[in-house]
Amino acid sequence: MFIWAGSFIFIKVGLRELDPYNLAFYRFLIASPLIFVWLFLKRGFTAVRLNDLLYISILALSGVSLLYAFQFLALEYTTATNAAILINTSAVFVAIWGFLRGEANARKILGVFLSFAGVILIVSKGTLDFFSSKTFFGDVLMIIDGFLWAVYTVLGAKMLLKYDHETLTAYAFALGTVFLIPFALWNGLANPLAVSVETIAALLYLSVLCSVFAYIVWYYALSNSDSTSVAVYVYLVPLFTAIFAYYALSEVPDIFTAVGGAITILGVYLTVSANSQM
């Protein structure tokens, strides 16, 4: 969580020289071969069935290409602290999917409404005119990001019945990198060797630590504990990010972000932890 919290800071650093799509593309261009090397050394080459490529492509779009294209674009219009809070609404979307499947209880319903109230407070900044907020566009993109991560989570859980998590992640990374090419070409493919040392450091942090190391640690934790116990650690991300953003980017959270963030995190926690009550 400490590493993932730092990602929002390093994205801000990378965006000083690279556009959002080039930054996302180069992140996974570096990460994809690294995770395949890890997979090969641990398990050897593992092929996937052709009839599963459609599902893995959706995983690649929702968990890599669109997720990070939107996230990196969002961070041009919102703060790192807002982004770290709003991405956690993914758990609310997962809960809504659970409602549709008849998996609901009072605690989940309360969590969903609390999170929704927190999101409104963050986006509106305490006014009824949402569009007056300077971070509105970026905040909305981060909520869309939460939905995309929910799609990745729900579909990924289904695909994990067929493949191990490392194989699934490796192929999602590879296809996601391919799907990011049109985005990167939209504004012209940047020369990664022409950027500063700070931007290269940001790329390495995002690719090696956030995309390879942290994903492997995350799934290792999931394989050794129940998902609810692991998921609650995500709520440390906004706290770490707010601290990093204050010192690294001089971002001072306003009262609406602080209160709205607390309400959102509480609501998401109630939504996810309700699984243990069912």
pLDDT in tens, 3-53: 988 888 898 899 999 999 999 999 999 999 999 998 888 878 788 888 899
Q: pLDDT: is 269 or 205 the higher one?
A: 205
Domain locations in the chain as residue ranges: 2-277
**What pLDDT does residue 267 have?**
80
Mean pLDDT of 162-179: 90
Confidence band for 227, pLDDT divided at 50, 70 and 90: low
Angle between helices 53-60 and 136-159 (to 10 degrees): 150
Under 8 Å between Cβ of 167 and 39: yes
Asked if the model's pLDDT at residue 186 lies above 80, the reply is yes
Mean pLDDT of 211-216: 86
Q: Where are the alpha helices (DSSP H) in the chain?
A: 2-14, 20-43, 53-60, 66-74, 80-86, 90-100, 106-124, 136-159, 165-186, 197-204, 214-224, 227-231, 236-248, 255-273
- Please give the mean pLDDT across all residues of the chain: 83
Give the predicted TM-score (pTM) of the model: 0.81
Asked if the model's pLDDT at residue 224 lies above 60, the reply is yes
